[in-house]
Structure 1
Amino acid sequence: MNQEAPLTDLLRRSQQGDVLATERLMPLVYTRLHSFAGAMMSHERSGHTLSPTALLHESYLRLFGADITWEGRTHFFRVAASMMRRVLVDHAKARGRNKRGGGAERISLDDPQQGIQVGDGGSGANILELDEALSLLARQDARKASIVELIYFGGLTYEEAAAALDISPATLHRELRLAKAWLRSALATEKQP
């Protein structure tokens, strides 16, 4: 049996209220989700009030508190990446960061394999600016937005993201380059007076 089938079955059973399936599910996904959260948080400013474990737990609660029909393992991890992004954005908003930066962590689009990269404060975008630009991109091209989300927020490799979206790695690379160019343009336009 492939790796997808047991997880998909547990997701389906958990969604139907099977408590045992939910209990068996957590150990199967915890390590992977914790590594996603760790990759995201490792580049945050020192003293950040949200830890990787807290990010994971908040995301996990939201995942299983939502009414989602799980389509399988890849769908689960795509939604988890999106949920972690939402938790980070909600956390930034709750901390009262203003939209234009003012001390908020900076994010660079240069190295997706390292997750979200925080710059020195002088370049890049903060999480709120990136979220806004990514939401605009999603309205124009959902797949490109999903690619960015899976790689930057989900910590997936290029190959994993390509498999999750059922596209070739070459297509993923091409669309990621276009998405990054679009995001840089949108972020630069947003910063102009």
Structure 2
Amino acid sequence: MAPAPPPASVTALLARARAGDDAALDSAFLAVYEELKRAARLQLRRSRDAVDTTVLVHEAYLKLGGAQLAASDRNHLLALSARAMRQVLVDHARHAKAQKRGSGEDALTLTANLGVEAAAVVDVLALEDLLGRLQRIDPRAAQIVELRYFGGYSEPEIADMLGISGSTLSRDWRKARAFLFAALSA
């Protein structure tokens, strides 16, 4: 695997992209492409979603809006990409749920035996709802969950991306997990 490009080169490419250089935006994404694919693979492995890794990365890229992208540096680009992957997966889960509801099949009840795909849809949609609630309470904790779950990043990577200490990240991560556990147990 090729070493990650220096953050300064990605930052310079993003600055050129904001100035209107479309080729620079493509180059910035190519510079972090393998890292985005790694994050997508981790996410898809956890969610058991039917979306392909490459499709997820490319749809996230499209969702970011190309020339209107406001990423200021490599870490910001990775964080925005994790959010876009989350949105793609949520959209996919909502579509799958709507298809299931409107496909003429029997309605699922709370006691129904959910298949793997149905459980993944419920998981992604439930997490999306909980993240929205956590966002209103503690935006940074919600961002940490988003980067861990949807981005697949480690605690040290997230601390670096957010510019916070490892102990602050650990404290926020514990708080976020406690919130999610309490909400899921209720």
Letter in 2 for 1:49: A
Give the structure 2 partner of residue 71 of structure 1: 72
Q: Which residue of 1 aligns with 2:119?
A: 105
| 2:47–2:124 CA contact under 8 A, matched in 1 | no
TM-score by length of 2: 0.81
Unaligned runs of 5+ in 1: 108-124
**4+ residue runs of structure 1 moved beyond 4 angstroms?**
97-102
Aligned: 1:174 with 2:171: yes
Taking the aligned partners of 1:128 and 1:71, their CA distance within structure 2 comes to: 30
Residues 106 and 185 (structure 1), Cα distance of their counterparts in 2 relative to 1, 3 Å cut: farther
Normalised to the residue count of structure 1, the TM-score between the two structures is 0.79
- Equivalent position to 2:142, from 130, 145, 151: 145
CA contact (8 A) 1:150 1:161 kept: yes
Question: C-alpha offsets along residues 47-87 of structure 1, whole Å, 9 cap, x if unaligned?
Answer: x4311111111001112347342221111111111110111
Pick closer, same or farther for the CA change 1:66–1:39 going to 2, 3 Å: farther
Partner of 1:86: 87
Do the aligned partners of 2:40 and 2:56 also contact (CA within 8 Å) in 1?
yes
1:162: which partner in 2? 159
Contact 1:33–1:56, Cα closer than 8 Å, also in 2:
yes
Find the counterpart in structure 2 of residue 113 from structure 1: none
Unaligned runs of 5+ in 2: 102-107
Q: Which amino acid aligns with 1:155?
A: G
Describe the shift of the 1:180–1:167 C-alpha distance in structure 2 as closer, same or farther (beyond 3 A). same
Computing the radius of gyration from Cα coordinates, the structure with the larger value is 2
Amino acid at match of 2:119: E
Aligned residues: 169
* Deviation sequence 1:104-146 (CA, Å, 0-9, x none): 2359xxxxxxxxxxxxxxxxx6110011001110111000001
Per-residue CA shift, 1:148-190, capped at 9, x if unaligned?
111111111110101111111111111111101101112223x
* Contact 1:40/1:155, CA 8 A, preserved across alignment: yes
